[in-house]
Chain A
Amino acid sequence: MSTKHEKEPLFSARNRKLISNPLGMENPITVQVLGICSALAVTAKLKPAFVMAVSVTVVTMFSNLIISAMRNSIPPRIRIIVQLVVIASLVIVVDQVLKAYVYDVSRQLSVFVGLIITNCILMGRLEAFAMSNKPWPSFLDGLGNGLGYGLILIILGFTRELFGSGAIWGYSIVPQALFDFGYKNNGFFILPPMALIIVGIIIWIQRSRNPELVED
């Protein structure tokens, strides 16, 4: 980093990769297997899953940005506690915003908004990226990882609500005729183990399409 280099365009190929990589080959959930707890806990319905995805994305973006801006003045020995203070402050802001504008969803997410603080994705990105990169790429890295996490959450929320409750975003979409015919909502999709199985299936598909992801 010490060598002087030319000014990089804002969305250079390298920066674009910071966003697109976490969506696929470096996905925080399916490849790094981080943030699984909340992915299982809040995805029974699409709406809370979406709100959770947005919240985590906002927190990763801004915590990466702030820590990256501060990175040269944080004493290495206390860096974890400094990172936690930044994350915690952001989470409190997000929590208050959710309470003010989408109270019902905030009730559904309950403790899991607060638990964003302990989400491994956040600490992982701060340690692995923001501590050694400039603010703008760090911001994009946060955005990319938040979106990668959110993508999986939305797939989970969509599948689980569709098969578990016969609805999308709270609106019933499975026609009554199908129920008359004997169809029933699958209660297993409401339970967290099914979320784990769906994550497993996503990982299965991803790895069979990208053999380089398969470990020995």
Chain B
Amino acid sequence: MKFLRDFLDKQKPHFTKGGRFEKLHSTFDAFETFLFVPNKVTSSGAHIRDAIDMKRTMIVVVLSLIPALLFGIWNVGYQHYASHGMAYDFWPIIGFGLLKVLPILVVSYVVGLAIEFAFAQSRGHEVNEGFLVSGILIPLVMPPDVPLWMVALATAFAVIIGKEVFGGTGMNILNPALTARAFMFFAYPSEMSGDKIWIAEKADAFSGATPLGHLLVNEVDKLPTNLSMFMGTIPGSIGETSTLAIILGGLVLVITGVGSLRIILSVVAGGIGMGLLFNLWGANEYMNIPAYQHLLMGGFAFGAVFMATDPVTAAQTAKGKLIYGFLIGVMAILIRVFNPAYPEGMMLAILLMNVFAPLIDHYVVQANIKKRLKRVKAAVV
């Protein structure tokens, strides 16, 4: 570590004002602060300081995604061999999974970070950390067989149109990873839905439908068991199949205080509430499945834990978080059950509520101001 610090200190003068590489100053800064907690202190005004800075926060999120990623790698391999009915060992499965998942991960990071660095450089900003998380979220919500150039295109779209246009990390209205997925969904529907794409290099005779795909055509009897949906040994996007791995990651987020438990719980409450309501209605078989099963299928758990809790795009007030989360749960199940064109409603539900989050916050704050003004008036009179 010492020699790394020394090396950085030696290079630093070249990147400060007047140095040889003055123009690349923000790039140097990015690497330096990535490796070491910066020693810069705000010199004016009163500030509340947190012991943890943004890079360290982002790393916690990345760590919490590791279980889902590892399980996803295994599952991609497992689904492939299972569809061919072949005997399989642990290592070939992991090998195949790595072969499929790693390129997507690399493409997402390289394209996204290149754009982030380019924008930071041209605007003279520091490089934003936000993409460290988006870069790993994007592969996790893609199907395993997705062509790499599409991943590159979707990532570029998400970073430029979803984020940089609004001013970069912290200013975006929509969650960048979901923006990438929504772009893919509308641009290349044949690569993002149906029953062909959820298993990498699937055998032709094998049905590769996801649980939601089965439900869409009212094949309730073909649903996998609750246990396999909970463990995640089902076809689906790379990182979202295993509810167990997601709960592990969610625990990390909640214990470190990085993710909001309030949002997660209210999303779950919204989903279960809507599920129960449909049970009462019971117009078709899809409406009759037990409400808790909705939580195990598709991207519900993944969205609730990793997407809805994104601190930038979620509601900020305590009451607002409850409303925001609850409506995500309700919308997700509503879209799932009612709209045959969109088998998975979680993505659209979160993006929709992202748009509404500032409005929710506004009314929560206004209501609070009104309440307190009333109290003041009562006290004066």
Residue of B nearest to A200 (CB): B165
Q: How far is the CA of A200 from the CA of B187 in the complex (A)?
A: 18
Contact of B188 among A186, A197, A200, A204 (CB under 8 A): A186
- Give B186's nearest chain A residue, CB to CB: A188
B147 CB–A CB distance under 8 Å: yes
Please, what's the 1-or-0 string for A174-216, where 1 marks a CB less than 8 Å from any CB in chain B? Answer: 0000000010101111010100010010001000000000000
Interface of B is mostly: helix
Contact of B147 among A182, A189, A191, A200 (CB under 8 A): A182
B149 within 8 A of A: yes
Residues of B with C-beta under 8 A to A186: 187-188
Which residues between 136 and 190 of chain B lie within 8 Å of chain A, taking CB atoms? Answer: 147, 149-150, 161, 165, 183, 186-190
The distance from the CB of B69 to the nearest CB of chain A, in whole angstroms, is 26
Which chain B residues border A200 with CB–CB below 8 Å? Answer: 165
Residues of A within 8 A of B147 (CB): 182
- On whether the beta carbons of B189 and A187 are closer than 8 Å, the reply is yes
Which residue on B lies nearest to A163, using beta carbons? B187
CB-CB nearest in chain B for A189: B187
Complex CA gap A193/B165 in Å reads 16
Smallest CB gap from A181: residue in B: B149
Verify A184–B161 contact, CB threshold 8 A: no
Q: Chain B 180-205 against A: per-residue CB contact (8 Å), 1 yes, 0 no?
A: 00010011111100000000000000
In angstroms, Cα B190 to Cα A184, docked, is: 10
Query: CB within 8 A of A191: which of B150, B186, B191?
Result: B186
- Measured CB to CB, the nearest residue on chain B to A187 is B187
Which of chain A's residues has its CB closest to B182's CB? A188
CA distance A83 to B189 in the complex (A): 46
A-contact 0/1 string along B214-240, CB 8 Å cutoff: 000000000000000000000000000
Closest residue of chain B to A188 (Cβ to Cβ) is B187
B161 touches A188 (CB 8 A): no
Contacts of A197 in B (CB 8 A): 161
Instruction: Specify which chain B residues have a CB less than 8 angstroms from the CB of A184 in the assembled complex.
Output: 150, 188, 190-191
A43 to chain B, nearest CB (A): 17
B161 near A187 with CB under 8 A, answer no
Q: How many angstroms between the C-alpha atoms of A182 and B191 in the bound complex?
A: 12
- Tell me, rounded to whole Å, the shortest Cβ–Cβ distance linking A1 to chain B: 45
Question: Which B residues are CB-close (under 8 A) to A204?
Answer: 165
Q: Which of chain A's residues have a CB closer than 8 A to the CB of B189?
A: 187
A184 — nearest CB in chain B belongs to which residue? Answer: B188
Which A residue sits closest to B183, measured CB to CB? Answer: A188
What's the nearest-Cβ distance from chain A to residue B168, in Å?
A: 15
Closest B residue, CB atoms, query A197: B161
Closest 4 CB pairs of A and B: A188-B187, A188-B186, A186-B187, A187-B187
**Given A186-B188, A204-B165, 4 more pairs with CB closer than 8 A:** A184-B191, A189-B187, A191-B186, A200-B165
A-B contacts, 21 of them at CB < 8 A, read A182-B147, A182-B149, A184-B150, A184-B188, A184-B190, A184-B191, A186-B187, A186-B188, A187-B186, A187-B187, A187-B188, A187-B189, A188-B183, A188-B186, A188-B187, A189-B187, A191-B186, A193-B186, A197-B161, A200-B165, A204-B165
